[in-house]
Amino acid sequence: MSTHHVNDVGPRVQCIPEGDDRHRLTCPDCGYIAYENPKIVIGAVCRWDARILLCRRAIEPRRGYWTLPAGYLELNESVEDGARREAWEEARAELALGPLLAVYSITRINLVQIIFRARLLRANVSPGPESSEVHLFRWDEIPFAELAFPSVQWALEHDRRAEEGVTPVAASNPEPEVPLKSPPL
C-alpha cells in the first residue's frame, strides 16, 4: 500500500522558476512547470447579405442571451477550422471565412477571443445543440439589450465599421473597455 497522498506528487510548490519572472506551480521532484495560460475562443461574425447570424444560447453561461457562433478552440485545430466548426455546431451554418476581424483580450477571465468576418454559404441555418434559436438579423433588429457578452457587441460594431470600410485592420478591445449598451442606429 502506497503512503503517498495526492498532494505529495506532481506540481505542488509555488515558486519562480529559473529564467521566469512570475510564480508558477512546479514539481520539486522532476522540475515540471504547470503553466496556466488563457483559453482561446474562436468565432465569426457571419453575414448573409445585410443580415448577421446570432445564436440564442441554450447553455450557461448566459443561457437565453444572443451571441455569435463561437467557442473554445480545440487542441490540434487551426483557428480557421475552429471558426467553421463552431458555426456548424451552434447554427448548422457553413461559412466562407473572410479576414480576421478582431482579437480581444478578456484578462479578467483569462480569455483571448479571435473573431473572423465570414459569409454564410446558405441562409437556411438551424439551432445546434448549444443554441435554442438562431436568427439572421438586420442591424436595426439586433437585440443589443439581450447580447450575452460585451465582446459580442464589440465584434458587431467592428464588423459594421469594416463593412463601411472604416476599420481596415483587425481590431482589439475598446479603450477603455466598455460594458454593453445600445449603439446608434
The alpha-carbon radius of gyration of the chain (Å, integer) is 20
Of 6-10, 55-59, 115-119, least confident by mean pLDDT is 6-10
pTM over 0.85: no
Residue for grid cell 463593412: 163
pLDDT above 70 as % of the chain: 88
Domain residue limits, the chain: 1-36, 39-163
Provide the pLDDT for residue 9: 84
CA 173 to chain centre: 13
pLDDT tens digits, 12-45:
899 999 999 999 999 999 989 998 999 999 999 9
Peptide bond connecting 61 to the previous residue in cis, omega within 30 degrees of 0: yes
CATH number of 39-163: 3.90.79.10
Q: Cα dist. 168→45, 98, 117, 156, 183 in Å?
A: 16, 13, 12, 15, 20
Full 3-state SS string of 13-47 = EEECCCCCCCCEEECCCCCCEECCCCEEEEEEEEE
CATH number of 1-36: 2.20.70
Closest CA to 39 of 70, 85, 81: 70
CA 44 to chain centre: 9
